[in-house]
Structures are given as structure tokens and as C-alpha cells.
């Protein structure tokens, strides 16, 4: 389990961040821990990060369970869902 910047026991350097940056940071951590693929369980802001994680690094996510997905406005929500729908329907290597 990890804490995002400024959440829980983590430090906050005061810089704004995006869900894309958080997703990439999760990958850095998973690689440091030598995790090939992971189950992702998230809540609230973590649900938004999980969407980005699945879009940017689909081979690193085995399964995902999210609760309370929050987006910054309907436009951002529709854009993310459109990207996720594309990711789920594009043919590619079999997902294990």
C-alpha cells in the first residue's frame, strides 16, 4: 500500500500534480519492488489514478477495483471514459 504525495504519511513538496504523474510514480514503485503485474484497489482520487494507470501501462495491471471515481467536470470524465473504452476494445496481445 502506498500514500500519494501529501496524503497519509507521505511528504508534500507543494507542487501540483496530475493523475498521469501519480500513475507513472506507481509504476516506478512497482518496478523498484520488482512487481511484474499487480492488482490495483483504489478509492476516491486513487480511482482516477487507476484509470490513468490502466491507460498508460495496461500490461502492469492484472485487475482493478475502484470506488468513488471523481473527475474534474463532465468533459474530463467523458474524455477518460472514451480513452478507457478504446483501450478495452483495441485488439492486442492476450491479457493474462
- Report which secondary-structure segment, H or E, holds 65: strand 61-67
- 94: DSSP letter: P
Residue-wise pLDDT for 81-96, tens only, equals 666 665 555 555 555 4
pTM: 0.65
Cβ neighbours of residue 52 closer than 8 Å, sequence gap 6 or more: 19, 20, 22, 23, 80
- d(Cα 92, Cα 88) in Å, to the nearest integer? 10
Mean of per-residue pLDDT scores for the chain = 76
- d(Cα 66, Cα 69) in Å, to the nearest integer? 7
- 95: DSSP letter: P
> Residues of the chain with pLDDT > 90: what percent?
10
Amino acid at each position: 500500500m502506498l500514500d500519494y504525495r501529501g496524503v497519509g504519511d507521505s511528504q508534500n513538496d507543494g507542487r501540483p500534480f496530475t493523475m498521469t504523474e501519480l500513475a507513472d510514480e506507481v509504476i516506478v514503485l512497482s518496478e523498484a519492488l520488482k512487481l511484474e503485474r499487480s492488482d490495483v484497489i483504489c478509492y476516491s482520487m486513487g480511482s482516477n489514478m487507476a484509470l490513468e494507470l490502466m491507460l498508460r501501462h495496461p500490461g502492469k495491471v492484472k485487475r482493478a477495483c475502484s470506488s468513488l471515481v471523481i473527475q474534474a467536470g463532465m468533459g474530463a470524465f467523458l474524455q477518460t471514459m472514451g480513452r478507457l473504452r478504446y483501450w478495452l476494445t483495441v485488439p492486442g496481445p492476450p491479457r493474462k
